Copies of this chain bind each other. A is one copy, B any other.
């Protein structure tokens, strides 16, 4: 399965036309940014950097790829046959926070080589940033309790793997998705579903004790028993009877989770299972996670809302040509004014570390800043080769998200709808 056809056709027709008139070889800068955050969001989380760099290395056209393309002239086919990206890429590292107009990715090279990457870059960034941004809100809502990603079934089967990666980046503790475990080393978790309990049904009806005994025999007393298939109180009693007071955890997947968690905690304690943890799941989102803060919940399993970006399934990032042979270019159509010229960003902060502003300035013209500040972008690719020691590892990204959340002004962590946590100031070329 090659990646080069994960591309919109117009990139190849533009290539064809540009090769014909020679413009294909002009030096260009394309930038990826979001004009705004999803409605009411206060920050975004960059994710997908590592996936994009990997896809960039794989971005070649096989003979089979080329044979599938209709109507392209020979010069275009020849160009594609030899294609590899030879330009430079800079960008916000994996796990960095972003705000409106943050230049999260800058791609430099010939028009031909840059234009071909538009769709793939945007697909990866728009998906992964949407998931990581939603996940980070859940992480801050959970206040240190364990979060397990279990939404694979609610999204496309391959998107599920990327979603598990993005959730882990944002601070989730693990995933149900086995491929995410293999590909990205995300810890995998999971024990059983209602079907396993219901499987243990005989002529005399349901036999939850048999199901629990079978699970404990196979997985040990440290396992998590799902106690809400029939009746939670009976389920908890059956669970402790099967595993003893060393039972690892019980999971509740339905009903009023707060009430059930309190009742279950009391019941477990009464049964001597003081260390048995309580896992809750079932249509949780950042708001319901926060609402359970006062209840004795040890871990949350989150599915649908995570993999669908909790109301914002795409990050609305765009890939825009901003510079041609050193000349800033902009579009002038209604309501879509963009800012020409290659850009860099500085993030300023107070002495305490709390961030104060995102300053987007023309590349090479850094403004004079009195407050503490740092460059947000980093070199990702030089002359087509990944800058290896910069290549983002998930562990680094997890630290970066955690540090980023701590750096926000307090209102930036509010779950309610509001303005971006810090303002973005855009300095026009020549204005600094």
Residue ranges of A at the interface with B (Cβ–Cβ < 8 Å): 1, 3, 5-14, 16-18, 20-21, 23, 26, 28, 30, 55, 65, 68-70, 73, 111, 115, 118-120, 122-124, 126-127, 150, 152-162, 176-179, 181-182, 188-196, 198-203, 206, 210, 213-215, 217-219, 223, 228-232, 253-256, 304, 307-309, 313-314, 316, 319-321, 324, 327, 329-336
Residue from B17, B23, B182 within 8 A of A5 (CB atoms): B182
- Chosen A-B contacts, 6 in total, with CB atoms closer than 8 Å, are A7-B177, A30-B195, A70-B188, A123-B157, A199-B324, A304-B314
> Chain B contacts of A9 at CB under 8 A?
176-178, 181, 188-190
Docked-complex contact B196 and A14, CB < 8 angstroms: yes
Docked-complex contact B123 and A320, CB < 8 angstroms: no
The 5 closest A-B pairs by CB, nearest first: A10-B190, A9-B190, A156-B159, A17-B218, A122-B153
Residue from B16, B160, B329, B335 within 8 A of A201 (CB atoms): B329
Please, which residue of chain B has its CB at the minimum distance from the CB of A307?
Answer: B314
Docked-complex contact A154 and B126, CB < 8 angstroms: yes
- In the docked arrangement, what's the CA distance between A244 and B336, Å? 29
> Chain B contacts of A324 at CB under 8 A?
198-199, 201
- In the docked arrangement, what's the CA distance between A169 and B136, Å? 36
Contact A255:B6 (CB < 8 A) given known A14-B196, A28-B199, A195-B321: no
Residue from B17, B73, B254 within 8 A of A196 (CB atoms): B17
Q: What's the minimum C-beta distance from A311 to chain B, rounded to whole angstroms?
A: 9
Contact A153:B182 (CB < 8 A) given known A177-B8, A190-B13, A308-B313: no
Please, which residue of chain B has its CB at the minimum distance from the CB of A71?
Answer: B219
Docked-complex contact A123 and B152, CB < 8 angstroms: yes
Docked-complex contact B327 and A119, CB < 8 angstroms: no
Contact A231:B332 (CB < 8 A) given known A8-B152, A14-B192, A119-B153: yes
Docked-complex contact B153 and A159, CB < 8 angstroms: no
Q: What's the minimum C-beta distance from A160 to chain B, rounded to whole angstroms?
A: 6
